[in-house]
Structure 1
Amino acid sequence: MSKDKHSPHNHHPQENGHHTHHKMEEASHEHHVGHNYHDEQIEEGTHDHAHHHGGHGDHDHHHHGNFKEIFLKSLPLGIIILLLSPMMGIDLPFQFTFMYSDILVVILSSILFIYGGKPFYMGAINEFKEKAPGMMALVTLGISVSYFYSVYAVIARYTTGEHVMDFFFEFGSLILIMLLGHWIEMKAVGEAGDAQKSLAELVPKDADVVLDDDTIDSRPVSDLQVGDIIRVQAGENISADGVIQRGQSRVNESLLTGESKPVEKTVGDQVIGGSTNNEGVLYIEVKETGDSSFISQVQTLISQAQGQPSRAENLAHKVASALFYIAIISALLAFIVWIISVDVPTAVIFAVTTLVIACPHALGLAIPLVVARSTSLGASRGLLVKDREALELATKADVMILDKTGTLTTGEFKVLNGDSLSSEYSKNEVLALMAGIEGGSSHPIAQSIIGYADQKGVKPVRFNSIEVVSGAGVKGEANGHHYELISQKAFGKPVDYDSPVGATVSFLVEEGEAIGAVALGDELKETSKGLMDVLKANGIEPIMATGDNEKAAQSVAEELGVKYVANQSPQDKYDLVESLKNEGKTVIMVGDGVNDAPSLALADVGVAIGAGTQVALDSADVILTQSDPGDIESFIELANKTTSKMKQNLAWGAGYNFLAIPIAAGVLAPIGITLSPAVGAILMSLSTVIVAINAMTLRLQGK
């Protein structure tokens, strides 16, 4: 069956026979693309932090203005209101009033109501649209009732002369605390990056098009047509998907496909836009542009993933939602009962007190304080958590999918072992010859061998002449002997040498006989093994998914004792995450390349390894800045501890409301217990203090 040309599988790099020696090179310039853009967003602070899962509730309000600015501008107004208004009718020592000070309070409160209250109203409208009233609806209810009733109280005082208690103190303090809570949380969470934009940054803006008369015309990549011939020089990123017409090189596709070794490419081979041409000039015929290109398809996958709804139940939202309904029902019941048993003014006071008591002061700080503490703890361990729902979801995770190259392994080719295959040469003599014959080469594998000899204190043999054997290796002459260092494939004869699984082997050959062997491979990171044990202990099943070949994947998976899938394109990884989610599993995805970006965005929790691409960082919820798999253990611990602190704080913060609301409504009035506003206020402050202290006790174990 011929593959549809739009299928991303079609772009998967060919396993061609041109690999001789390879090494992944640091594509560090790609790591930085898009950073300036990212920083601007953070400084602006008003950027819509719509999380990629389009989650509701506590995320929607992040784009209703900049909470820091609104808080700082509202603070002076709020402080004056608090100084001039008695708290629930009690004069506090720091408060004072003067002739018509209550009129001033009405004016200031009206400004604060419109300016400081706006983000909450916008949030509440969204919650009602989604038929899920929660924190924003609860706050809006509190500030509206306390504001309008207080304005009525002041008007009544001047028109009827009777003293009606106002709630301006509660109104002012609620707005300030809620704005502060949201500012703390936004500051902690930081801004979500823009994965799509960073992806586009991998592809150069302009391409050098070769015209019929061999002159070069530089034109925007968007103007490229299928069939154009483009020239790509060493060190440049390839600007479009195509096929090489002239030239040969090693192309680093690791950031795009996960293939750990730069791939030998020559005439007739496919190349992917966004990959890096390591050496030599390539002339490439453009085969795919625009929407059908590899990068575009990855972009499409990312936007599909970002459209998926979140799986986090968002505890705070659920608690606030319950309180909202309890407050409304209690206030209504209180109103009806007190109208029947006493009179309208009494009923109004009980109903209003109930709604004001329901205001979630402690609840508003319960989560942001834990988030702020958890964020600073995480940052000290090199964990940047961009989305707090990720912590909640991580505690429920069933499966963790891990990329191999650069995540579990170093992604750099190192000498795994070197041996003599001849009784006439010792191991060190073979190594000295290999280091000598590679002496003149800047080839990555040559550098690995020279570095390995140096490490072992072996001095390279001096060669008189060295020449490159195209597609095979190198040959040279030393001490009157002819030697070749060539790939296993180029040597072509069976050799009795036990090489590590998945390693690239080269033989040192003298007069047609293999006298030495060197095996190079991608090394496991030190902390990878320990991580597997921690995951299993936490009931999370690890699965390794890699774009690398079957042999390389199998050797790493066997060493780690995990399930694996190899030769994965971005679409394959995406499908794997999707199928696990469809089975109802909660999935964490860990990766570092463009090929991981769509699955990072789709997974319930995406964890990006920090040395990877900006695209991966932007698609993830959590970034491990030190690129150490061991930090995933810290993330799991942070998730468990943060979530339990959040639950404790919600219990404290909401527990007060659940108890106080019915008492405020007058449930215990028949036995002579009513909640005087003063006691309500003291309880409210107490629960806020307990919540703050509890958040500060969050700790992580020493590493």
Structure 2
Amino acid sequence: MTKFESNHLDSQQEHENHVTMDHSKHVGHVHHEVQVEEGIHGHSESAEHHNHGEHDHHQHHGNFKEIFLKSLPLGMIILVLSPMMDVRLPFQFTFAYSDILAAVLATILLLYGGKPFFQGAIGEFKQKTPGMMALISLGLSVSYLYSIYAVLARYATGAHIMDFFFEFASLLLIMLLGHWIEMKAVGEAGDAQKSLAELVPKDAHVVLEDDSIETRPVTELKAGDLVRVQAGENIPADGIIKRGASRINEALLTGESKPVEKEVGDKVIGGSTNGEGILYLEVQETGERSFISQVQTLIGQAQNQPSRAENLAQKVAGWLFYIAIAAAVIAFGVWLYIADIQTAILFTVTTLVIACPHALGLAIPLVIARSTSLGASRGLLVKDREALELANKADVMILDKTGTLTTGEFKVLNMETLDGQYTEAEITALMAGIESGSSHPIAQSIVHYAEIQGIQPVRFDKIGIVPGAGVEGNANGRNYQVISQKALAKAVAVDVPKGATLSILVEDGKPIGTVALGDELKETSKTLIQALKQNGIQPIMATGDNETAAQGVAEELGIEYKANQSPQDKYDLVESLKNKGQTVIMVGDGVNDAPSLAMADVGVAVGAGTQVAIDSADVILTQSDPGDIGSFIELANKTTGKMKQNLVWGAGYNFIAIPVAAGVLASIGITLAPAAGAILMSVSTVIVAINAMTLKLQN
């Protein structure tokens, strides 16, 4: 992957002139039924998010809700017909051949409900990393096969032999329920590449040699075509303006917070939004060389990166699998030597059935369900549980500026008078009056500021545009203009906040007042930075905005920053930090953030941003409040803590019970009776459920 063309890497020049335009339409709000086609966007399919490997089984092996609900009736009948480790419970009853009925139902249940676990186990063995699926499959297979043997032996010999149908059915139902709970909690990942394609219009208006217009699919555009872009439309391809002038909203693509003035000879990016002017563009880049396609390629590369989450439950299950196999083999050999084959088989099977991770199967899903519920109440949607494990050990957080740390909207930062004959209120009234007829973001910010201050705008007789400078109008027999400092062509003695746009009010050629407008920090941005530093996480701001604007925000927050960042630059930054062994969280809201959101260990999307960013992320801030990131870090820390506690309770029973069930203490008269094993199994399951419900957030 080569670097972007220089026109994509460089941030756009700051433009302080403004004209009467309406930029109410945003790139992310334009949705077309656009097919992601090879040769236009470079991908025909979305790579699976973060390639979470063979262990994200609820994504690969069917709908666990449907399987659980269809398996439940069969499982419940088996539980009623079969004693629990030879202990009949009050709700259970048997009748002639009821054990044969249980065997038939168990066979159906194994083939239907057990299928996803066996498929998962095959995948684990192929990867040479047996874990949860292998352990579940082992428990299901042993309990089922031995129970079938027990039923056949009863009718063949007349002897009473204990079966494990109850344990088989309860294990299967609990595991299906646990996977359903987790799947419901975290939801499904979106398709970032499809959302990215939706930014580009379906059709383009191609100008023919006789100046007639032909509507042609974007897929058929080629370099050199001349296309017309109406006001409010999204630009169909990267190109150069040949006729017309307008302001282009590129905020969601490049991170530039202000609409950028474009005129003949300037380059434009496909997917950005045209203002009110009509533009004629010569297409430069299509297919894999276009800006959108290169961003899409980066997303695909990032999604193919392997996850670095430890997956604690998978690790513990892997240990249990090997311990259970080893203990069973030893138990069989020892009991065959000191007793007989029947005793050896019973101890071996009991050992493997005891290893069935009933509590372990619910330990993580219950914590995740509680965690996602708490997160949702704080405006946090967690799409991937591994994000919680990774965020718990994060080293660096990279933050976008526009729309993430700042509001992404123009606001009046400072209003000053340059003439002692006027008060600030009078300057505000004059500026609001002359701007009242404009729909430009700068104008609307001034009008809104006056409304908040309770200042009545001055009535102007006529208002017009000063070409390339600003606006002008007449009031009280005087001529007033609101123009940029560049248009004034001389310095004014005012302090301008870094990154702000300065507009000057001129009366009959004399400057009498100024207004500084800029992208304001969100209220909770400083709180977030403090929380990150307290948790040992280094904050770095990476923005596509210009150096001046970036420096102003970074200095106010007291953090490191990188300006003029293209999607490739942000992607490379995340990749370089990960290559150093650091765990990286990326926070952003625009198309230019999507590749780095996907590449990061944890991607956090600001909910008010683009669908592309949301689809690329693991966590979504629905309220677009940076302060919620602090809550996410707390949630990640406490969730991981609860996971570890539940793994101790869920697996601790197994680690102790397996060797006892194998008979290692039989020489001193200590064995694990089936009834005692059943009680311990139930108690550990109840404990992990109660412990999961105690998860709470303080802040």
Question: 1:135-158 CA distances to partner (integer Å, 9 max, x unpaired)?
Answer: 000000000000111111111111
Contact 2:192 2:616 in 1 (8 A): yes
Alignment of 1:149-298 (within 5 A): 149-298=146-295
User: Aligned to 1:673, which of 670, 682, 686?
Assistant: 670
Alignment of 1:20-419 (within 5 A): 20-21=17-18, 27=25, 30-31=28-29, 33=31, 52-419=49-416
Are the structure 2 counterparts of residues 399 and 536 from structure 1 closer, same or farther at C-alpha, using a change threshold of 3 Å? same
Query: Following TM superposition, by how much is the alpha carbon of 1:378 offset from its aligned partner in structure 2, in angstroms?
Result: 0.6
Query: Following TM superposition, by how much is the alpha carbon of 1:20 offset from its aligned partner in structure 2, in angstroms?
Result: 1.5
Question: 1:109-133 CA distances to partner (integer Å, 9 max, x unpaired)?
Answer: 1000000000000100111111111
Amino acid aligned to 1:696? M
Query: Following TM superposition, by how much is the alpha carbon of 1:511 offset from its aligned partner in structure 2, in angstroms?
Result: 3.8
State the aligned residue count: 689
Contact 2:254 2:544 in 1 (8 A): yes
Are the structure 2 counterparts of residues 382 and 600 from structure 1 closer, same or farther at C-alpha, using a change threshold of 3 Å? same
Describe the SS at the equivalent of 1:400. strand
Residue of structure 1 equivalent to 2:654: 657
Query: Following TM superposition, by how much is the alpha carbon of 1:292 offset from its aligned partner in structure 2, in angstroms?
Result: 0.7
Contact 2:309 2:389 in 1 (8 A): yes
Query: Following TM superposition, by how much is the alpha carbon of 1:423 offset from its aligned partner in structure 2, in angstroms?
Result: 2.0
Query: Following TM superposition, by how much is the alpha carbon of 1:24 offset from its aligned partner in structure 2, in angstroms?
Result: 11
Question: 1:1-54 CA distances to partner (integer Å, 9 max, x unpaired)?
Answer: xxx9962554246634754249995655725848999xxxxxxxxxx9986221
Are the structure 2 counterparts of residues 339 and 542 from structure 1 closer, same or farther at C-alpha, using a change threshold of 3 Å? same
Equivalents in 1 of 2:129, 2:654: separation in Å? Answer: 20
Contact 1:8 1:571 in 2 (8 A): no
Describe the SS at the equivalent of 1:628. coil
Equivalents in 2 of 1:28, 1:482: separation in Å? Answer: 35
Alignment of 1:491-510 (within 5 A): 491-510=488-507
Equivalents in 1 of 2:3, 2:222: separation in Å? Answer: 17
Q: So what's the TM-score if we normalise by structure 1?
A: 0.95
Equivalents in 2 of 1:125, 1:35: separation in Å? Answer: 39
Range 360-369 or range 505-514, more displaced: 505-514
Equivalents in 2 of 1:444, 1:373: separation in Å? Answer: 43
Q: Structure 2: where are the runs of 5+ without partners?
A: 36-44
Are the structure 2 counterparts of residues 33 and 338 from structure 1 closer, same or farther at C-alpha, using a change threshold of 3 Å? farther
Are the structure 2 counterparts of residues 491 and 35 from structure 1 closer, same or farther at C-alpha, using a change threshold of 3 Å? same
Describe the SS at the equivalent of 1:679. helix
Equivalents in 1 of 2:217, 2:318: separation in Å? Answer: 52
Contact 2:10 2:564 in 1 (8 A): no
Range 573-582 or range 227-236, more displaced: 227-236
Range 509-518 or range 107-116, more displaced: 509-518
Residue of structure 1 equivalent to 2:563: 566
Amino acid aligned to 2:132? M
Describe the SS at the equivalent of 1:53. helix
Describe the SS at the equivalent of 2:428. helix
Equivalents in 1 of 2:34, 2:100: separation in Å? Answer: 49
User: Aligned to 2:601, which of 599, 604, 607?
Assistant: 604
Residue of structure 2 equivalent to 1:42: none
Amino acid aligned to 2:404? T
Contact 1:404 1:545 in 2 (8 A): yes
Residue of structure 2 equivalent to 1:436: 433
Equivalents in 1 of 2:241, 2:413: separation in Å? Answer: 33
Amino acid aligned to 1:674? T
Amino acid aligned to 2:127? E
Residue of structure 2 equivalent to 1:459: 456
Range 187-196 or range 4-13, more displaced: 4-13
Query: Following TM superposition, by how much is the alpha carbon of 1:467 offset from its aligned partner in structure 2, in angstroms?
Result: 1.9
Equivalents in 2 of 1:186, 1:50: separation in Å? Answer: 19
Contact 1:402 1:590 in 2 (8 A): yes
Question: 1:497-521 CA distances to partner (integer Å, 9 max, x unpaired)?
Answer: 1111111001112343321111000
Equivalents in 2 of 1:24, 1:374: separation in Å? Answer: 43
Query: Following TM superposition, by how much is the alpha carbon of 1:481 offset from its aligned partner in structure 2, in angstroms?
Result: 2.0
Are the structure 2 counterparts of residues 612 and 27 from structure 1 closer, same or farther at C-alpha, using a change threshold of 3 Å? farther
Describe the SS at the equivalent of 1:350. helix
Are the structure 2 counterparts of residues 294 and 49 from structure 1 closer, same or farther at C-alpha, using a change threshold of 3 Å? closer
Describe the SS at the equivalent of 2:56. helix
User: Aligned to 1:427, which of 424, 429, 445?
Assistant: 424
Equivalents in 1 of 2:154, 2:578: separation in Å? Answer: 61
Equivalents in 1 of 2:209, 2:89: separation in Å? Answer: 87
Range 609-618 or range 495-504, more displaced: 495-504
Describe the SS at the equivalent of 2:551. helix
Residue of structure 2 equivalent to 1:530: 527
User: Aligned to 1:635, which of 629, 632, 635?
Assistant: 632
Describe the SS at the equivalent of 2:511. strand
Equivalents in 2 of 1:490, 1:580: separation in Å? Answer: 44
Are the structure 2 counterparts of residues 437 and 429 from structure 1 closer, same or farther at C-alpha, using a change threshold of 3 Å? same
Amino acid aligned to 1:588? I
User: Aligned to 2:477, which of 463, 475, 480?
Assistant: 480
Describe the SS at the equivalent of 1:65. coil
Contact 2:26 2:273 in 1 (8 A): no
Amino acid aligned to 2:584? V
Describe the SS at the equivalent of 2:87. coil
Equivalents in 1 of 2:70, 2:693: separation in Å? Answer: 27
Equivalents in 1 of 2:394, 2:15: separation in Å? Answer: 42
Amino acid aligned to 1:326? I
Equivalents in 1 of 2:490, 2:267: separation in Å? Answer: 30
Range 440-449 or range 120-129, more displaced: 440-449
Aligned-residue CA RMSD (Å): 2.0
Contact 1:146 1:171 in 2 (8 A): yes
Amino acid aligned to 2:334? V
Query: Following TM superposition, by how much is the alpha carbon of 1:94 offset from its aligned partner in structure 2, in angstroms?
Result: 1.1
Amino acid aligned to 1:693? I
Equivalents in 2 of 1:168, 1:367: separation in Å? Answer: 25
Question: 1:343-372 CA distances to partner (integer Å, 9 max, x unpaired)?
Answer: 111111111000000000000000000000
Residue of structure 1 equivalent to 2:39: none
Equivalents in 2 of 1:316, 1:31: separation in Å? Answer: 41
Describe the SS at the equivalent of 1:410. strand
Equivalents in 1 of 2:13, 2:63: separation in Å? Answer: 53
Describe the SS at the equivalent of 2:410. strand
Describe the SS at the equivalent of 1:218. strand
Contact 2:255 2:592 in 1 (8 A): yes
Amino acid aligned to 2:103? V
Residue of structure 2 equivalent to 1:45: none
Query: Following TM superposition, by how much is the alpha carbon of 1:446 offset from its aligned partner in structure 2, in angstroms?
Result: 1.2
Equivalents in 1 of 2:23, 2:148: separation in Å? Answer: 69
Equivalents in 1 of 2:338, 2:198: separation in Å? Answer: 71
Equivalents in 2 of 1:604, 1:510: separation in Å? Answer: 56
